[in-house]
Each structure stands twice: as structure tokens, then as C-alpha cells.
């Protein structure tokens, strides 16, 4: 099997150069083999700082965006994190090194089956998945310390906002088509505070 250590080190240096300074996030990226999450025909491109197509017209996000979103969650290792959109499973695998447990929802069964297979292969045991409508969240597990969306709603569903603990953080791409921003939402005693941090392009959140 191809050794990607050089490519992985180069990616880490690229991310540092782009302002990702959180050592725990960079360490998680170094530990997770991104090549396993991309189609075999694209494995030579696994450590390029680019999004790549996966099955069912979905994508695996650009490593810089994964790192930026992960850093914005401000994880300490104790959190329960809800992920909307399992996709390839790559983001959940990164999170698994940085929090207590990940709860991940995917609406496309083939993607969920493949991601679960990869989690087993990598012996990742703190990711729980389910097939379902991401817009509804995971009410039976709520409230969560953190929520991350890997697909973009036109605006954040109130259902998901209500599943964040007071003091918790949500990171999500929001908007339509090319007009999307990555936002950080903090739940306070008085409501919600929102900050836009980056223009992005994600697949849309599809309800149902």
C-alpha cells in the first residue's frame, strides 16, 4: 500500500501556512488517513488541499475547511458533538480524536454504510451514526455541546439551534449556491450570537 507520509507532512505545512495553528487539530489530521475516505481513483490526490468528489454526487471537504471548522468548535476532549452529514466519514474521524463522542447523521444509506465500514477498519469506536433527516437533528441525544454541519441550509433550522447546550457552539455553512458563509453560532443565556468567518461552497442540506 502506498505510503502517504510525505504528502501528509506537506499538507500539514500548508495548513500551518494558512493559519491553522491548533496543534491538536493538526495532530488529528496527521493521524487520520484521508486516502481511505476518497475513491480509489483519486487516492494520489488525497493530501492535496482540495475538495474531492465521492459517491452519490457528494464531496469530501477541502482539508483547510475541515481544519478551520474543527478549530472553530474549540474542543477540549470532553464534548458530545452532533454532526449533520456523515458523507465520507472523514470529518467525523477527525472529531473522534478531539472529543468524547460524535453522533453523526446521514440521509444517504450507501454513504453511511461505507463510512461505518471505514470507522470499523480504523478501530474508531466513539462515533455513533444513524440514517435520518439532518434538519431534525438527534432529539433523543440532545442537548449537545457542539454541532457541526457539513452541508449548507439556506438558514439554520431552529430545530438544530434548540439542540445546542447553553454555552455550546455550532459551526455551519449557511446560504444558497455560491452565496454561502461559514458561521459560528454560540448559545448564550440570552439567545444566540453569530459570526461569519469564511466564504465557502458546500452541498445543500436536503430535508427529508
Active site residues: 61
Give the helix, strand, coil percentages of the chain, each rounded to 5. Answer: 35, 30, 35
In a 10 Å sphere around its CB, with 0-12 CB exposed, 13-18 middle and 19+ buried, how is residue 90 labelled? Answer: buried
Task: Give the span between the Cα atoms of 2 and 16, in whole angstroms.
Answer: 25
Cα 99 from Cα 77, distance rounded (Å): 4
Lookup: cell for 102 = 460524535
Neighbours of 147 (CB within 10 A): 29
10 Å Cβ neighbour count for 192? 12
Nearest C-alpha neighbor of 29 from the set 116, 93, 78: 93
Contact 174, 155 (CB under 8 A): yes
CB atoms within 10 A of CB 91: 24
Query: Rounded CA gap, 125 and 154, in Å?
Result: 33
Amino acid at each position: 500500500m502506498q505510503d502517504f507520509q510525505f504528502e501528509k507532512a506537506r499538507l500539514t505545512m500548508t495548513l500551518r501556512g494558512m493559519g491553522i495553528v491548533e496543534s491538536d487539530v493538526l495532530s488529528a489530521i496527521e493521524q487520520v488517513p484521508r486516502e481511505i475516505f476518497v475513491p480509489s481513483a483519486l487516492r494520489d490526490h488525497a493530501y492535496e488541499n482540495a475538495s474531492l468528489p465521492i459517491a452519490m454526487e457528494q464531496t469530501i471537504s477541502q482539508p483547510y475547511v475541515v481544519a478551520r471548522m474543527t478549530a472553530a468548535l474549540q474542543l477540549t476532549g470532553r464534548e458530545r458533538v452532533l454532526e449533520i452529514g456523515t458523507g465520507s466519514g472523514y470529518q467525523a474521524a477527525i472529531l473522534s480524536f478531539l472529543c468524547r463522542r460524535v453522533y453523526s447523521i446521514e440521509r444517504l444509506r450507501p454513504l453511511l454504510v461505507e463510512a461505518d465500514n471505514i470507522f470499523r477498519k480504523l478501530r474508531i469506536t466513539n462515533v455513533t451514526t444513524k440514517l435520518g433527516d439532518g434538519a431534525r437533528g438527534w432529539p433523543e441525544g440532545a442537548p449537545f455541546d457542539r454541532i457541526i454541519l457539513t452541508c449548507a441550509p439556506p438558514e439554520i433550522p431552529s430545530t438544530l439551534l434548540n439542540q445546542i447546550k447553553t454555552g455550546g457552539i455550532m459551526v455551519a455553512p449557511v446560504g444558497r449556491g455560491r452565496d454561502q458563509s461559514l458561521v459560528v453560532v454560540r448559545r448564550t443565556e440570552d439567545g444566540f450570537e453569530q459570526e461569519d468567518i469564511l466564504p465557502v461552497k458546500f452541498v445543500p442540506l436536503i430535508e427529508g
